[in-house]
Amino acid sequence: MIKIYKYGEVPNSEIFARENIPTNVEGVVIEIIENVKKNGDKALYEYSLKFDKAEIKSFEVSEAEIKEAFESVPDEFIEILKEAAENIVNFHEKQKKNSFIINDKDGIVMGQKVMPIEKVGLYVPGGTAAYPSTVLMDSIPAKIAGCEEIVMVTPPMADGKVNPVILAAAKIAGVDRIFKVGGAQAVAALAYGTETIPKVDKIVGPGNAFVAEAKKQVFGRVSIDMIAGPSEILVVADNTNNPDIIAADMLSQAEHDKNASAVLVTDSSDFAIKVQNSLEIRIPKLPRAEIARASIDKNGKIIVAENDINKAIDIANEIAPEHLELCLDNPFDYLDKIKHAGSIFMGKNCPEALGDYFAGPNHTLPTSGTARFSSPLSVDDFVKKSQYTYYSSSALQKVADKIAYFANKEGLDAHAKSATVRFKK
């Protein structure tokens, strides 16, 4: 049963405690990465047999396979995918940034170039669990940024094929190349390249503990989006809500993973008990009841800030959740008070699942409190910037002595002379 905490009556250390989830996969991942670096496709083939029970004849998914998969997906779902993709495009188009130039002083030109990252690797969980939403959310911003090539990796099913809905989403999103490989070995292949899989410049996308650890280990060789932890939802709700709806929203994350976190912060003890009871009724009815049960019992919390919704907002900021639902009649009154959250869902008619699949804002979000300093995946993640400076001879001459003075203060004589030497007779 989910625990109920009354704010101010128990230590904050207990209320705000986060479960540390040991993974103990670092050594295994080091070995996998080294094997892929040394043996390339041969290592990938062996890992596919070992982990996916799949004998892969060709790692790259062919156009014929994509066409066959697309045609096997129901038309209704294809139309939903296309509408979701359109919503994602419309939202992320607004994130594009332009280069700029400053030339308001004689003989001086400065500026910044915004340029797409050339090659991006997209990791998509696959096999029995299919997440076409991840394909759309992670590849569309890269396309909008102008990335030259998007390379997707995803684990094969036991028959050596890729889940058709993954391929359908990839076709709609405009993914350039798709490879049947998953796990830490797929991350290693993207970071270092193999005979078949090209090396990329950045790797994005969620995965299990092995994938997360592999991204961590290859960071520096390539860029990554983030190290994602288990999924989280925090709901701020007063007692005007329907407790069954709030319980349903909490379970939408609890069913993800036994380590997922579902938290309610409310201003009413009576409402807290009603939600607690509703959870107990709803959990056994879920197909993934065992997972939801473990998540709610281990990581679930209801925190009561009695008669003080503003304190509930403060508590939400302290936790800095991945997903934050403001289930209030006047959510926009509180929006400016939210300091730390990955994605904010406003009002009583905005379940977090709306953001997972359809609305348009990205669902790849900072977890484990990293929303205090991190942002959702966006077009910004797929661009880089270069700056440039031009000075004419006369413009440099006006400031050469100042540059030299500054350099000498730092004890860097060659720096100083590089500015003044141009004007020595």
Active site residues: 322-323
Find out whether 298 and 21 touch, Cβ atoms under 8 Å: no
Find out whether 209 and 257 touch, Cβ atoms under 8 Å: no
What is the rounded distance in angstroms from the CA atom of residue 327 to the CA atom of residue 317? Answer: 15
What is the rounded distance in angstroms from the CA atom of residue 19 to the CA atom of residue 89? Answer: 36
What is the rounded distance in angstroms from the CA atom of residue 27 to the CA atom of residue 241? Answer: 48
Strand order from edge to edge, sheet including 232-237: 3-6, 301-304, 261-266, 232-237, 323-327, 343-346
Strand order from edge to edge, sheet including 383-391: 100-105, 108-116, 383-391
**What is the separation of C-alpha 65 from the centre of its chain, rounded to a whole number of angstroms?**
28
Query: How many C-alpha atoms does 224 have within 13 Å on its Cβ side?
Result: 23
- CA atoms 261, 265, 270, 271: torsion sign: negative
Identify the helix (H) or strand (E) that includes residue 385: strand 383-391
Find out whether 138 and 113 touch, Cβ atoms under 8 Å: no
What is the rounded distance in angstroms from the CA atom of residue 67 to the CA atom of residue 69? Answer: 5
- List CB contacts of 96: < 8 A, sequence separation 6 or more: 144, 145, 379
- List CB contacts of 285: < 8 A, sequence separation 6 or more: none
- CA atoms 288, 294, 295, 301: torsion sign: positive
- List CB contacts of 411: < 8 A, sequence separation 6 or more: none
Identify the helix (H) or strand (E) that includes residue 132: helix 132-145
- List CB contacts of 261: < 8 A, sequence separation 6 or more: 18, 19, 230, 231, 232, 233, 253, 295, 299, 300, 301, 321
What is the rounded distance in angstroms from the CA atom of residue 147 to the CA atom of residue 92? Answer: 14
Single-letter amino acid code for the residue at 124: V
Identify the helix (H) or strand (E) that includes residue 247: helix 243-254
